């Protein structure tokens, strides 16, 4: 029932309760509830939320729902894991713009460097990252926990915890294509991507 991406999201939940922000059709909540995890499914789209409720009824599951934007109006408990998946980093940053201390499991569609930097700036560290291909699309699902760790610039770009050959090869191909498209007179930009690819090669060799 679950996509590879959502299976990976679910695998990073280690608490017994979840706030699923942007639940869409509620498949993650069904999966987690059947595993004994209490879920609150929320969405800013009433149509999506109604579809989720319909799906919950198919499985005879009593899952709490809330029609809201982000975390607005939610009483966040200490042990809730906040899951945000299926949206872009700009939207995720707006949602996280409040005082929270919970575990975060995030699957952003874009701008992972900006996401990592922002969440770390909130007093989190990157606990785990998992790379998955789902319908030929690459995803990095990140689990953040409250606490502090020091990171280098490359950690924000590549990710500090991933040790996955498929992921490294994906990044190498991505940045090599960009490098090959840069005009010769853009020397600083060329050097930036050359250095980045070298860093990826170092991580592959140390893998």
Tell me the per-residue pLDDT of 63-94, one tens digit each, with 9 for 90 and over: 999 999 999 999 999 999 999 998 999 999 99
Q: Comparing C-alpha atoms, which of 193, 195, 112, 96 is closest to residue 146?
A: 96
Considering the chain, what percentage of its residues have pLDDT values greater than 90?
Answer: 95
Where does the pLDDT of residue 206 fall: very low under 50, low under 70, confident under 90, or very high at 90 and above?
confident
pLDDT of residue 4: 94
* CA-wise closest residue to 123 among 94, 152, 102, 109: 102
Q: What percent of the chain has pLDDT over 70?
A: 100
Domain ranges of the chain: 4-150, 163-207
- Please indicate, yes or no, whether the overall pTM of this predicted structure exceeds 0.85: yes
In the chain, DSSP finds a helix count (H) and a strand count (E) of 8, 7
Q: Does domain 4-150 have CATH number 3.30.1330.10?
A: no
**Which pLDDT tens digit goes with each residue over 165-191?**
999 999 999 999 999 999 999 999 999
């Amino acid at each position: 029932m679950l996509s590879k991406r959502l299976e990976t999201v679910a695998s990073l939940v280690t608490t017994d309760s979840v706030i699923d922000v942007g639940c869409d059709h509620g498949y993650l909540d069904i999966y987690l509830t059947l595993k004994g995890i209490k879920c609150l499914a929320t969405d800013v789209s009433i149509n999506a939320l109604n579809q989720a409720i319909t799906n919950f009824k198919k499985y005879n599951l009593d899952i709490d729902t809330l029609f809201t934007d982000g975390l607005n109006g939610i009483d966040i408990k200490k042990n809730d894991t906040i899951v945000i998946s299926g949206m872009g980093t700009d939207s995720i940053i707006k949602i996280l713009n409040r005082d929270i201390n919970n575990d975060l499991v995030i699957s952003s569609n874009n701008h992972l460097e900006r996401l990592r930097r922002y969440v770390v700036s909130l007093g989190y560290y990157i606990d785990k990252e998992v790379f998955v291909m789902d319908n030929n699309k690459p995803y990095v699902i990140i689990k953040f926990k409250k606490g502090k760790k020091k990171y280098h610039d490359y950690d924000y770009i590549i990710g500090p915890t991933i040790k996955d050959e498929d992921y490294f090869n994906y990044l190498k191909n991505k940045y090599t294509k960009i490098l090959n498209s840069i005009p010769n007179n853009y020397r600083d930009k060329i050097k930036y991507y050359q250095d980045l690819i070298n860093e990826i090669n170092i991580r592959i060799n140390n893998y």
